[in-house]
Structure 1
Amino acid sequence: MMNWDERRQIVKVANLYYFAGQTQAQIASKMGVSRPVISKLLNKAREMGIVEIYIKDENAHTVKLEQQLENIYHLKEVLVVPAGNLSTDMIKHALGKAAASYVSRNIKNITSLGISWGSTLSKFVQEYPYEQHRDLQIVPLVGGMGRKFVEIHSNLLAYQLAQKMNSHCSYLYAPAMVESLELKERLIQSEDIAMVLEEGRNVEMAIVGLGNPFKDSTMTDMHYLTSDDLASLKLAKATGDIGSRFYNAEGNQIKHPLNDLVIGLDLEEFKNIPEVVGIVEGAHKVESLRAALKGGYLNVLVIDDVTADLLLHHAQKKD
């Protein structure tokens, strides 16, 4: 048992350090002991519950989620955005802003950036600040042509981002998904398309979204997927898609005719990109996201706190 004097000494050191704002060296000098002794006493104060440290800030919860998800899924960085009572559109804007801040901080030594497509990525481009990156090449990672949802196609996003960054961009003049293998072969043999696909394979950083093909799917809204397609994807155990390529719960690209019709990077090729930033919104994408993380497609994750909580819950439940 600790005697009264020892306990009083611990309380005194804690008071000087936490309330009086003195350094460990100053306290050591005052009490006639070494600085390591003061450090040990402060540790004891926390261990014994004499001192309890709280972070009183709305970001405390999200920062803890970030650290937990980074550790569980071995990610370089996780950014968790508070969703609160925000609408889906407002959450996507908040995610876009967080992703834009991350990319802006980490793009200084990068000469090639790839971008996929989707409504969340569109918000990322809208939120990106105006900067000067004259030596940067922006590359669409999947085809995107047609009359519907033009504002979220990869070509337009690459162009708009290049305008924001004062940089250059390539154009992938092909749909994300074509009608037949024969047409795909003809298109990817075209010098212009082959060159952009090769550029995409060699980017240093990629920005991607991911989807759940069975719920709130943009691919379905764009009529890339029919009800028959969805039925066959379900049979093939598709769980999610990145760059219009479908994968299962284990994170493996499924063998399916639709995957063979995509003009864009193969999922395995995403793994070769040094840094892939995934921007994900919505609880309906939790299983899709878990599978993508299992597949090792993402290094950095930007996510809302509701989805992050669910992702963490599933991971802990599994353990």
Structure 2
Amino acid sequence: MIETDELLSIRAAELYYEENKTQDEIGSILRLTRWKVGRLLAQAKASGFIRIEIVHPRARRLPVERRLRDATGLTDAIVVSAAGVSGDDELQSRTAQAAADYLASLRPIPRTLGISWGRTLHDVSLHLKQDWAPGVNVVQINGGVSLNKRAGTAATTAVTIAHKASGSATLLPSPAILERLETKQAIESDRAVAAVLEMAAGASAYLYSAGQADEHSALVDSGYLTADQIAELVQKGAVGDIVGRYIDSAGNIVDPALDERTIGIGLDQLRAAKLAIAVIAGNSKHAVARAVVGSRLCSVLVTDEDTARAILGEDL
């Protein structure tokens, strides 16, 4: 009897989803009541015989979001579909679009938004619509003055986000990492820099991304670190960086000396923030995404479904 019901549920599902038959029509074909057809369809779905996939680029994976919130304690999780994605650039674009949508939906609107910089955040700024919010002031939370011509998105990102919100941008006029500790201390003691750091520490919300620990890091592209230096950090346990600070799988700083020469807010400030939105996507960032969520460096995560499943341990 159980096998008969299973076969009927599969047949009912085929007629309903593939032949576009109504439940009344299915009842007539299978000589069942409409109520019985409805029960068979529910049984097919509960048994995992039916898999519905929404393939629109802005589709979200709501069941994965629920599991992620329940398992990690995140305030919110936004998980985009990876269906039909042709490469990492498209996946990052989808995730950046989701982050832009989430940012625009925030209520209450953050009066001061602290942001990091990098390719992902730059993509978010491009996806934001004009007038996404009224009068949001944007402040850089870590140094980002370019050391070469290939990367120079820190100021552009902040200005773009602020301009589209009819607000103002406060830039941090400093490199991300200094070679000498005394130079970093001197810069931080400058009145203008200190004022920006104070504003960053008091931001209403934070928006930032994570960098992978390899030669493709934005900090390597920007000239702050070399590929060999990244390799040394990996040997110390680094899985990636947050606001320029390299962390291990438990969310701890892997190189205190390097961290002391890094300008910007500290990780403890992110952990203490009421609203800290991390935007992380791509296979190369699974490890750092696990570290960020596991060590509570964010309260909201915007990511792709493969990264979300990796955090949940469902990628095996």
- TM-score of Structure 1 vs Structure 2, range by shorter chain: 0.7 to 0.9
Mark the runs of 5 or more structure 2 residues left unpaired by the alignment.
Answer: 1-21, 25-34
Q: In 1, distance between residues paired with 2:306 and 2:44?
A: 34
Tell me the residue number matched to 1:38: none
**Separation in 1, partners of 2:66, 2:217:** 30
d(CA) in 2 for partners of 1:156, 1:82: 28
Deviation at 1:305, TM superposition (A): 2.0
- For residue 223 of structure 2, what is the aligned residue in structure 1? 223
Separation in 1, partners of 2:44, 2:110 = 49
The whole-number CA distance in structure 1 between the counterparts of 2:255 and 2:152 is 30
In the other structure, the counterpart of 2:76 is 77
Counterpart-to-counterpart distance in 1, 2:258 and 2:92 = 28
TM superposition score normalised by structure 2: 0.79
Paired position in structure 1 for 2:18 = none
| Alpha-carbon spacing, 1:316–1:310, altered in 2? closer, same or farther (3 Å) | closer
In 1: Cα distance, 2:302 partner to 2:195 partner: 30
Question: How has the CA–CA distance of structure 1 residues 284 and 51 changed in structure 2, closer, same or farther, with 3 Å as cutoff?
Answer: closer
The whole-number CA distance in structure 2 between the counterparts of 1:86 and 1:132 is 29
Tell me what 1:261 maps to.
Answer: 261
Are 1:120 and 2:116 matched, yes or no? no
Partner letter of residue 171 of structure 1? L
Q: Kindly provide the CA deviation profile for residues 102-149 of structure 1, in whole angstroms up to 9, marking residues without a partner as x.
A: 110105432111110110111100000111645421111111112334
CA drift of 1:57 comes to 4.3
The number of residue pairs the alignment matches comes to 278
Partner of 1:58: 54
Residue 208 and residue 237 in structure 1: after superposition, are their counterparts in 2 closer, same or farther (change >3 A)?
A: same
Helix, strand or coil for the counterpart of 2:114? Answer: strand
Q: In the alignment, which residue of structure 1 is the partner of 2:149?
A: 148
Q: Which of 1 and 2 has greater Rg?
A: 1
Tell me by how many angstroms 1:87 deviates.
2.6
How far does residue 70 in structure 1 lie from its aligned partner after superposition?
A: 1.3
The Cα shift of 1:226 comes to 2.0
Instruction: Tell me which amino acid in the other structure corresponds to 2:282.
Output: G
**Which residue matches 2:208?**
208
The residue correspondences of 1:1-319 to structure 2 (distance < 5 A) are 49=43, 56-58=52-54, 62-83=61-82, 84-131=84-131, 133-146=133-146, 147-153=148-154, 155-214=155-214, 216-312=216-312, 314=313
Name the residue aligned to 1:27: none
CA distance in 2 between partners of 1:176 and 1:239 (Å): 19
- After the TM superposition, which of the residue ranges 168-177 and 78-87 deviates more from structure 2? 78-87
Once the two structures are overlaid, the 10-residue window that deviates more, 297-306 or 251-260, is 251-260
Change in CA separation of 1:227 and 1:121 when aligned onto 2, cut-off 3 Å: closer
Give unpaired runs (5+ residues) of structure 1: 1-17, 21-40
The more displaced of 182-191 and 215-224 is 215-224
Q: CA deviation at 1:306?
A: 2.5
Question: What is the letter of the counterpart of residue 310 of structure 1?
Answer: A
Taking a change above 3 Å as real, the CA distance of residues 149 and 300 of structure 1, as seen in their structure-2 partners, is farther
Between the aligned residues of both structures, percent identity stands at 25
